[in-house]
Amino acid sequence: MTIKRIGVGKRMSACVVYGGVARTAGFVAEAAAGKSFKEQTADILAQIDATLKEAGTDKTKILKANIWLTSMSGFAQMNEAWDAWVPQGHTPARATVESPKLAAVGLDVEIMVEAAV
Amino acid sequence: MTIKRIGVGKRMSACVVYGGVARTAGFVAEAAAGKSFKEQTADILAQIDATLKEAGTDKTKILKANIWLTSMSGFAQMNEAWDAWVPQGHTPARATVESPKLAAVGLDVEIMVEAAV
Amino acid sequence: MTIKRIGVGKRMSACVVYGGVARTAGFVAEAAAGKSFKEQTADILAQIDATLKEAGTDKTKILKANIWLTSMSGFAQMNEAWDAWVPQGHTPARATVESPKLAAVGLDVEIMVEAAV
């Protein structure tokens, strides 16, 4: 089996496909400063959609999701964006936990997923 | 390969099986309020057993586990329940880290696993 | 498919190989006390190299990495060691988040990876 890497950076790749599974990086919102938890989540999910498309799949084949929030006070807002996005009947195994700080100031949400290809 | 989803909710599924691997959601204790780290862990592991059974597998085929604790002060207690549960000779790759808050007040332990099917 | 476990302990295994994927435990530095984030990361990555070798693979086949830091103030230092280690053109999907405490005092970095075998 071959390994297919998408969005290959010096430090990480946006997505790695192997063995029929696409594994994404932990995505954060672009231009996050001043954006709410809901807005950041929607931005991230749009990036994930685009990345899964590049990998030859889509959100109906999502298997697993890990979500980190800088504060659980944003849990309901994150879920508003999530619920509007996640396809009914195709929901993944998911875990959401608090991580006080993400990689840069202003980032409040990070999401990493796996999807079948 | 087909994707099999178990315990499909609107937001997430309890378990998703694909490519010979069952991926569970992050499980938390039911009626957690007032339960110790050890009691919550035992409750979670019983839920994982039931879910793996539904997926057609069991804890002897566990591959990976991610554990989150709201305080590392509960590490020893979590391990007491874990050590009583994990089958010798079949222990998974595991990572345990602190997450100050989980999805609801009273929850102190969350566990997400992968198992071969 | 068979499950191959490496470094099998009573509580966890160092690595579990199944379905063409090696899943490592969350590695922490040995004798971490007094070591910087950079030194701890370098120590961990050397352990991961040795473990992947035992699993019959190497870092060029890395698929996914989860990194936990006790403080994001160590992010740049972790990345110094990471950047010196990660093979260009073969970078994994990666997520780095803060976890205030790891399993023992003195530990500031924990890394869990998956690699194709």
pLDDT digits (tens, 9 = 90+) for A27-73: 999 999 999 999 999 999 999 999 999 999 999 999 999 999 999 99
Report pLDDT for A1: 78
User: Letter for the amino acid at A97?
Assistant: V
Give the closest of B13, B68, B110 to A91, CB-based. Answer: B13
Residue C2 CA to residue A99 CA, distance in Å, equals 36
Report pLDDT for C42: 98
Contact C26 B97 (CB under 8 A): yes
Spell out the per-residue pLDDT of chain B, length 117, in tens. Answer: 799 999 999 999 999 999 999 999 999 999 999 999 999 999 999 999 999 999 999 999 999 999 999 999 999 999 999 999 999 999 999 999 999 999 999 999 999 999 999
Report pLDDT for B1: 78
Fold of B26-112: 60s Ribosomal Protein L30; Chain: A; (3.30.1330)
Alpha carbon of C58: minimum distance to chain A alpha carbons (Å): 13
* B85, B109, C101, C109 from C105: Cα distances, Å: 26, 20, 8, 11
Report pLDDT for C90: 98
Q: List the strands of the sheet with C21-24, edge to edge.
A: C4-8, C13-18, C21-24, C109-116, C62-69, C93-98
A contacts of B5 (beta carbons < 8 Å): 89-91
Q: Say whether the ipTM exceeds 0.90.
A: yes
Mutate to test the interface with B, among C63, C101, C109, C114 (most CBs of B within 10 A): C101
Contact C20 A1 (CB under 8 A): yes
Distance of CA A39 to the CA centre of its chain: 13
Residue C83 CA to residue C33 CA, distance in Å, equals 23
Contact B16 A92 (CB under 8 A): yes
Contact A103 C61 (CB under 8 A): no
B contacts of A91 (beta carbons < 8 Å): 5, 8-13
- Express each pLDDT in C59-79 by its tens digit: 999 999 999 999 999 999 999
pTM over 0.95: yes
